[in-house]
Structure 1
Amino acid sequence: MPELKVSIAQHYHERTKYDPQTLASKSHQLDWEKQPVPFKEYKIGTSFNLKPYFKAEVSDPEGKWWQRLSRLLFCSYGLTAKIPTMAGSPLYLRAAPSAGGLYPAEVYLVSRGTGPLPAGLYNYQTQTHSLVHFWDNHVWSALQAACFWHPTLENSHLAIITTAIFYRSAWRYQDRAYRRIYLDTGHLLGNIELASALSDYRPHLIGGFHDEALNQLLYLDPDQEGAITVLALADLLDIQQNLPAARTALPSGTQTSYPTIPDGALLNYFHACTEISADTTGPQGWKFTSDEDREQDKYNFPFCTKVSTVTPSLVWGHNLEGLESTILRRRSTRAYTGSELTLEELKALLDFTYQPQHYIDQGLDGHPDYFDLNLIETFIAVSGVEGLEEGCYYYAPKIQELRQVRFKNFRQELHFLCLGQNLGRDAGAVVFHTADLKNAIAQYGDRVYRYLHMDAGHLGQRLNLAAIHLGLGVSGIGGFFDDQVNEVLGIPADEAVIYITTLGRPN
């Protein structure tokens, strides 16, 4: 019998794996003359300057409204550093990390027109910390229709839409860039979630929408860019916008019939395959589904060492001042000393990342939106954590427990798996986010590839901020030898590796 073709998502994942035997042959010389500019320019439109509101003392209601919006956008994606380069053009760093500093994401704001911001479409201009109003019609009903009348858009007055300009990342990472684009978007979603708490908003995540309609709404070039997420911004100071949680993800089709796709064309072809044009969920619709049924006993072997991760929560200070300062000073660590972390530090990192309900009393959302965390598994390779035996551990978030699944020091192997980066070798712990791709596709179709990477990036951003707050080093890694990770760490072969986060003492 002929072998059944795998879905396009599985095909894409296999095609974009790094392998030590073929990586060198697939590498390419960067054309620096074609390096993309990580900023989108609108030549026509009215500009709203947000800078005066960011630090100023304001007392009038409208001024406070603008200050909250300014703070939300700056802490989500604002420019936080300007670094000179040999090429002449400076490198601008933003509040959210991006692979290679390429920043493929763009942030748009849609206003219903019922508040201080006139109705229409806005692009967030990070270079000037301003909004450019490039379309002034009432478009809210069109947004609702494109999102299949998601209930959180019924009473909210603002929405953020994140998009991606594919070439910004593909210039360097080629077809594999699609993975990094969604990890970067996940970082951004993590920042939007936390920055909203600083600004008295609650973002409601929407990943299921009519792609073509949303692209047309924003006047995007579908060959170069695409809408990625929508977030309805509920104003927590308005009781009418105290909205219940709703479903965030919709399934797409699963495509198993596709042509031979040449290298360089795979990213765009795959993205088109993940698009949807209708809500096919039937009576279930946008009804919220809980993750309480998550399996708690996975990898619960009778012989394995089990370590509780229950710990006092991180303290973010009065009015979350510590969180805001951490967001704005976050940087990816370039080198570690190789010194050990403490078990209490690792517990604190896991607590902030996976136990948001512990932070309600500090003003954070206890149940932030993800797409489906039931699909994400977490493994931790421990090389240097004081009080914890070396080896690979599975993290059970519901029961808050580490379960050792392999006994070994992996420092040299981690150096190899992370493409020879010293970050893997010198880290005290390396976190691996994985997913059973076949099972995930069975639930959500090929579009689940988007959801998996955004959820992993969202978790990774919480790890980033917790580590920086504790004075630790942290760096995400999107380039690794995929299959070899599973082999070395003893992770089941059906668990696709989505993201790696290294943690250690900064050098």
Structure 2
Amino acid sequence: MVDSFAQYYHQRTKYDPDTIASKSQGLDWSTQPLSYKEYKIGTVYDLKPYLQSTKQDNESYWWQRLSLFLLCSYGLTARIKTMGEPMYLRSAPSAGGLYPAEIYLVSKGTSFLPAGLYNYQVKDHTLIHFWANDVWQHVQGACFGHPALMVADLAAITTAVFYRSAWRYQDRAYRRIFLDTGHLLGNIELAGAMNGFRPYFVGGFIDRQIDELLYLNPEQEGTICVIPLVDIDAHPDATIAAFPTALPSRINLEYADLPDGQLLKNCHQMTEITQFRQLPANTSDIDPVKLDDKYNFPFCLKISTQTNPIDWQDNIPLARLENTMLKRRSTRAYTGAELTIDELKQILDFTYHPRHYAEQNLDPSPDYFDLSLIETFIAVSGVQGLDEGCYYYAPKAQELRQIRFKNFRQELHYLCLGQELGRDAGAAIFHTADLNMAVQKYGDRAYRYLHLDAGHLGQRINLAAIGLEVGVSGIAGFFDDRVNEVLGIPEDEAVLYITTLGRPA
């Protein structure tokens, strides 16, 4: 059997204890990239005054919603002094604080925001209008006429500057870029609900058409996701026809054996959609992506995870969630003390059951690309009320199913490349996927969708944990194959992401 290019890339970028030392490179700090773009020419719209605005006229209210939406999605939340350029921390987490993502806005043309292209300048919380021509129809064409673009007047587009992550993580950075963008999409979904915008994630589009529209250099950066933003205040009764969030690309079975250093760029090219493709016959009949339970191990211990939802209200609706998004930080060390089973249950509830939060005005069925491909395993080392061991999480049944009895603290320390976060966590959540099955469904582009969804789930875990004052940190560097061996995860499940939970030190 010949692997597709996505499977080849995944195999080539695995960490292995026998080879990782030979592939490690020291960082050249003189070539560290900036984590933001600066457009020198264009009309600047300052969003900062609207954060404190008390005006209630329609225009001021609209700008205030947009300003808060961008701040909560990807806004600057702290500056850390360094020997050189300060490190700018944002509301969405990023591996190594490198922030490969950029946010662009496309306006159809409204009384508030003229038609054209805008870049979100995160450093000073402004929008810069760098292209004033109407390009909306070009976006619609590249997105196969997605019905949300018929209603929306505004769309966000997330892109990635590859070198920002590759500077540190080399070829494996492509995984991290999509996990980081998944974090951002998790924020966009929640920030939209808080500010009256309904985001629709479009993962299937003609890459080069959007790249050219934004004047991206395809050798250095690429479009990741197009996101029509339907203004619920302006279109309260809008009905958006069902449409697939994810579309397939080619399955590339013929390719050269590449040297290190060329895998990332080639993976992006191999996962592109290059032409209009046949859509499903009845797009109006598409079922929303549903969680499913793949594994039901016989005779295993089963624990219900049903619980009361987290209360995100704080006098002002969703004020607690907004504060959590803006104060979120990745935990750097855990004490090793135990978590409670109720904390773990509530974190799982917020992550996998958004319908339980409809009464708090959050979207009960937010967009993902295909959650049916993602599986969840949890290694429990210190949770009161739970035996130590590895569990499969069955979201549809809302239960944990124990598959291995063991304390994994030392193994997790080793599997996570010697990071003490793995050793001292009370629980570690693993997102996995059957890569072969995913490629058969979506072509090599499946690799993007899997990591975007894993990052999105990871961000909901992040926010739930921080809201409960539980420490949390994502880990994208691990010994891939050893994870399956040690925890008893089926070998056909590719490990995508690890999120650790523990008592912050």
Q: TM-score, normalised by structure 1?
A: 0.97
Q: Quick check: 1:51 aligned with 2:48?
A: yes
Matched residue, 1:358: 356
1:234 aligns with one of 216, 230, 233: 230
Matched residue, 2:404: 406
CA distance in 2, matches of 1:55, 1:288: 44
2:425 aligns with one of 427, 431, 434: 427
- Root-mean-square deviation (CA, aligned residues, Å) is 1.2
- CA shift, 1:89, in A, is 1.8
Does the 8 Å CA contact 2:5/2:252 hold for their aligned counterparts? yes
Q: Secondary structure at the match of 2:173?
A: helix
Task: Give the count of matched residue pairs.
Answer: 502
- CA shift, 1:303, in A, is 1.2
Q: Secondary structure at the match of 2:99?
A: coil
1:373 aligns with one of 371, 374, 390: 371
- CA shift, 1:114, in A, is 2.5
Q: Which amino acid aligns with 1:25?
A: S
Matched residue, 2:157: 161
CA distance in 2, matches of 1:48, 1:286: 38
CA distance in 1, matches of 2:116, 2:283: 26
Per-residue CA deviations over 1:216-248 (Å, capped at 9, x if unaligned) read 010100000000000100111123545355320
Matched residue, 1:107: 103
Q: Quick check: 1:249 aligned with 2:249?
A: no
CA distance in 1, matches of 2:44, 2:289: 45
Per-residue CA deviations over 1:39-63 (Å, capped at 9, x if unaligned) read 1111111100000001221111000
Please give the residue correspondences for 1:56-455 in structure 2 after superposition, counting only pairs within 5 Å: 56-85=53-82, 87-237=83-233, 238-239=235-236, 241-284=238-281, 286-287=283-284, 289-290=286-287, 295-296=292-293, 298-317=294-313, 318-455=316-453
CA distance in 1, matches of 2:435, 2:473: 25
- CA shift, 1:290, in A, is 2.6
Aligned in 2, Cα 1:157/1:285: closer, same or farther, shift over 3 Å?
A: farther
CA distance in 2, matches of 1:35, 1:171: 7
Does the 8 Å CA contact 1:156/1:241 hold for their aligned counterparts? no
Per-residue CA deviations over 1:419-477 (Å, capped at 9, x if unaligned) read 00000000000000000000000000000000000000000000000000000100000
CA distance in 2, matches of 1:243, 1:54: 30
- CA shift, 1:108, in A, is 0.2
Aligned in 2, Cα 1:344/1:190: closer, same or farther, shift over 3 Å?
A: same
Does the 8 Å CA contact 1:150/1:286 hold for their aligned counterparts? no
CA distance in 2, matches of 1:115, 1:433: 44
- Runs of 5+ unmatched residues, structure 2: none
CA distance in 1, matches of 2:399, 2:278: 35
Does the 8 Å CA contact 1:291/1:374 hold for their aligned counterparts? no
Per-residue CA deviations over 1:40-87 (Å, capped at 9, x if unaligned) read 1111111000000012211110000000000000100000001112x2
CA distance in 1, matches of 2:292, 2:76: 40
Q: Quick check: 1:34 aligned with 2:31?
A: yes
Q: Which amino acid aligns with 1:154?
A: M
- CA shift, 1:260, in A, is 2.0
Matched residue, 2:494: 496
Per-residue CA deviations over 1:329-383 (Å, capped at 9, x if unaligned) read 0000000000000000000000000000000000100000000000000000000
Q: Secondary structure at the match of 1:206?
A: coil
Does the 8 Å CA contact 1:474/1:502 hold for their aligned counterparts? yes
Q: Secondary structure at the match of 1:239?
A: coil
Q: Which amino acid aligns with 2:396?
A: K
Q: Which amino acid aligns with 2:208?
A: E
Matched residue, 2:468: 470
- CA shift, 1:286, in A, is 4.5
Does the 8 Å CA contact 2:305/2:400 hold for their aligned counterparts? yes
Does the 8 Å CA contact 1:206/1:231 hold for their aligned counterparts? yes
Per-residue CA deviations over 1:374-414 (Å, capped at 9, x if unaligned) read 00000000000000000000001111010001110000000
% of aligned pairs identical? 65
CA distance in 1, matches of 2:199, 2:22: 44
